Chain A
Amino acid sequence: MPTEPPVCLKAVTKSYGSVRALDGLDLEIAKGGVTALLGPNGAGKTTAIGVMLGRLRPDSGTARIFGLDPRDLAARRRIGVMLQVAKLPRQLTVGEQVRLFAGYYPNPMPPAEALALAGLDGLESRRCAALSGGQQRRLQFAIAAVGRPDLLLLDEPSVGLDLEARRAMWTTIRTLRERGATILLTTHHLEEAEALSDRVVVIDKGRVRASGTVDEMKSIVSGRTIRCLTALDDNALAALPHVRSVAHAGRHAVIVTGNAEATMRALLLADAALADLEIASAGLEEAFDALVAA
């Protein structure tokens, strides 16, 4: 089944009482690369992960992992998981914990390799109770990675990590990506999505709002905004290259463009009297805000 996508959710709905956590979610993650699932709190990210993992039963729609039911052991042996909330049993040591999970997979890494990957070298015999919050998270990362999974599902992997540990984890995620793993992570750190992901999927109110590369996402939503005083009328402005929309704010024209440089070049040629020029570039954050507010 080499053609089956690692993750495929089709028209998944899931309600809790009157709250619709997932509202016809369609999501397909192709093999390879890092995909970030972005959304505000309550957008349905964790519910989506729960359905993907077969932990939650969707009210309707289907979830498939490599074409299999997510509850199928054959599917699970290809997934490594890091959940948002998990405290590992206090009485077991780091090494015992990693060996236990390694033992579920047919072809795991040596536990020491997983620990090194997660930056826990030398802590093998430490009890989980004695780990800091950040070390607990890293241990969970080691557990997710130890089975050499084809698909890593990481729910808010860097929560509770300080900046240095977060950057170390990013490096590790990139390493696993280079080894060919498909990685899906949820995050509300836009910086994290921007730093790591090949593809971003924005979900809100249980549906996919937009998806694409980080650059695409930035331009899809707000692109860049050119504000200026111009003698050109709206039709002329709209005919400029890459212009998506033209509006007015007071005497200023507000032009949204997918390519500010190209639009500017044409605009300056067409209107020699152009004045009071201002170009605002959107970061992922602005793009994201615009998307979820829509």
Chain B
Amino acid sequence: MSTSNLAIFGREFGAEIAKSRRMPEFAIPTLVLPVVFYALFGIMLAKEATAAPYMIATFGVFAALGPSLFGFGVGVATEREEGVFALKSVSPMPAFIYPLAKLAMTFVFVALVVAMIYAIGVFAGGVAFTPAQWAGLFAVHMLSVLPFSLLGLFLGYTAKAQGAIAFANILFFPLAVLGGLWMPIFVFPAFLQTLAQILPSYHLAQMALIAGGMQDSGPFLTHLAITLSWTLALAVAVAWAVRREQD
């Protein structure tokens, strides 16, 4: 067997895929929730035809949230608690491969969920984006995995398994609802709308709406800058948590 980083990464990634395939109690809620919610709110209960494309943009961001916080974050917390993380971290596996394999797994998973949402939008909601708009939407949805996964990873490194589940739930709903992933934030009172604007989920949803041509593209770079700042800040927080692990 090859000990190149790529070969080890490939095998770890395969193991992550195998693990989540055999763990339906994780896969089903994180997969079904965004898809069912989209079908329900975007298509079946929608009063206007604009809901279907609008919600593809926002539910695509929502689809990245569950696997990142629960699959990735709680997964790391659980493996830390069970000690397999420690065993891996003293093994000759290069340390960065462990989170990278889980991140890759999260990307694959999210890609699968957004593909299902896209398919429902197209076939049941009559959604028609241009290829460039589809590509833009997919890019924003995949980008969503980064800050959410880093947030999940930070939880994973700092909380115990049960605590990580609790924190993930506490973060999950405000990020989804206040970020405007379920409904536009203008339905909220003014102070909540202000609060929403600090959340990365809000800026990702705005970017997705712009990418889908449903909103003025002017502030795109501002949303991107805020999202990337969140990503960077969370990366620093994770690096701190990883370092703390050795004390």
Contact = CB atoms under 8 A, between A and B. Distances in A.
Interface stretch (A94-102, A116-124, A165-173, A207-215): A94-102
Interface string B1-16: 1110001100110010
A68 B17 CA distance: 35
Given A76-B92, A86-B87, A140-B87, A103 B7 contact: yes
B221 interface: no
Interface in B88-133: 89-94
Contacts of B91: 76, 81, 101, 104
B106 to A, nearest CB: 16
Nearest to A80: B91
Contacts of A131: none
Contact of B84 (A54, A88, A127): A88
Contacts of A79: 90, 92
B83 A83 contact: yes
A265 interface: no
Contacts of A84: 83
B19 A91 contact: yes
Interface in A30-52: none
A195 interface: no
Interface in B216-239: none
A108 B87 contact: no
Interface residues of A, number: 33
Interface string A66-85: 00000001001101010111
A105 B92 CA distance: 7
A101 B87 CA distance: 10
A250 interface: no
B207 to A, nearest CB: 35
B45 interface: no
Contacts of A106: 3
A88 B2 CA distance: 23
B86 A87 contact: no
Interface in B60-84: 79, 82-84
Interface residues of B, number: 26
A85 B92 contact: no
A290 interface: no
Nearest to B1: A103
Nearest to B82: A87
A75 to B, nearest CB: 9
Given A76-B91, A83-B86, A92 B15 contact: yes
Contact of B87 (A83, A102, A147): A83
A189 interface: no
A8 interface: no
A85 B90 contact: no
B90 A76 contact: yes
B23 interface: yes
Contacts of B3: 77, 103-106
Nearest to B12: A100
Given A86-B82, A86-B86, A102-B1, A96 B15 contact: yes
Given A91-B19, A104-B91, A86 B11 contact: no
B19 A73 contact: no
A104 B93 contact: yes
B170 interface: no
A147 B90 contact: no
Nearest to B81: A87
Given A103-B7, A147-B92, A86 B83 contact: yes
A178 to B, nearest CB: 24
A103 B11 contact: yes
A53 B94 CA distance: 14
Given A87-B82, A87-B84, A89-B19, A55 B8 contact: no
B18 A96 contact: yes
A87 B8 contact: no
A55 B1 contact: no
Contacts of B93: 104
A53 B91 CA distance: 9
A143 interface: yes
14 contacts: A54-B90, A57-B246, A57-B247, A77-B92, A79-B92, A81-B87, A85-B82, A85-B83, A86-B83, A88-B82, A92-B18, A102-B1, A103-B1, A105-B3
Interface of A: 53-57, 73, 76-77, 79, 81, 83-89, 91-92, 96, 99-106, 108, 127, 140, 143, 147
Interface of B: 1-3, 7-8, 11-12, 15, 18-19, 22-23, 79, 82-84, 86-87, 89-94, 246-247
Given A55-B90, A79-B92, 4 more contacts: A86-B82, A86-B86, A89-B84, A101-B91
